[in-house]
Amino acid sequence: MKDNTNINLLVNQAKEGDQKAFNALLNTFWKDVYRFQLNKCKDEDEAEDTTIKTFARAFDKIATYDENYQFKTWLLTISNNIYIDYLRKKKTETISLNKSHKEVHKIIDDDPSPADQLIQEQNLAQLKGYIKQLKPHYQDVINMRYFLELSYKEISEKLDEPMNNVKVKLLRAKKLLAEIITNT
């Protein structure tokens, strides 16, 4: 189905907000983007995460797609930029702050204090209020993943949707939730 006419038709439908067109584009190009990333990073988990981010960014920016270029090329360019951002972030995370060159071992107490627990409970109640502002299908996927702690595979089976769709839906739900939180 990688015929340019069909792809351009799907892109135009996606620009109109057609969820089936988004799913068709995702299913058509998932392997290409994933393979591209796997060749770059040699890590299946990182390749999958970057592929998910690629489709999320592409779908958010679908209105900017120029049909004079191949859709696959556009996706791979986005994917490459996300990978470069990942490398930059990874590079900055590996800076050592150990000036004395001696190893220092600190034992961190991970248990929250009673005050911290109270704050967490209040924040959780507020977060659930924000989640309720999402559309029901986004609420469901957030609840299944983060509150019921289901795997992508389990969510996929429960919703009877392909796993890739679940991942993109979850990414969209998180983005919408972030927008709700920042606008409040």
Residue 112: which residues within 8 A CB-CB, separation 6 or more?
Answer: 120
pLDDT given for residue 115 in this prediction: 64
pTM above 0.75, yes or no: no
Name the residue among 16, 43, 13 with its Cα closest to residue 28.
13
Residue 51 host element (H or E): helix 44-60
Give the whole-angstrom CA distance, residue 97 versus residue 95. 6
- Which ranges of the chain have pLDDT less than 50? 1, 95, 101, 104
The answer to whether the beta carbons of residues 164 and 27 sit under 8 Å apart is yes
Q: Same CATH fold, 119-182 and 4-92?
A: no
Give the whole-angstrom CA distance, residue 165 versus residue 72. 18
pLDDT given for residue 55 in this prediction: 86
CATH topology of domain 119-182: Arc Repressor Mutant, subunit A (1.10.10)
pLDDT given for residue 90 in this prediction: 74
Cα torsion through 156, 159, 162, 163, rounded to 10? -30
**Under CATH, which number does the domain 4-92 receive?**
1.10.1740.10
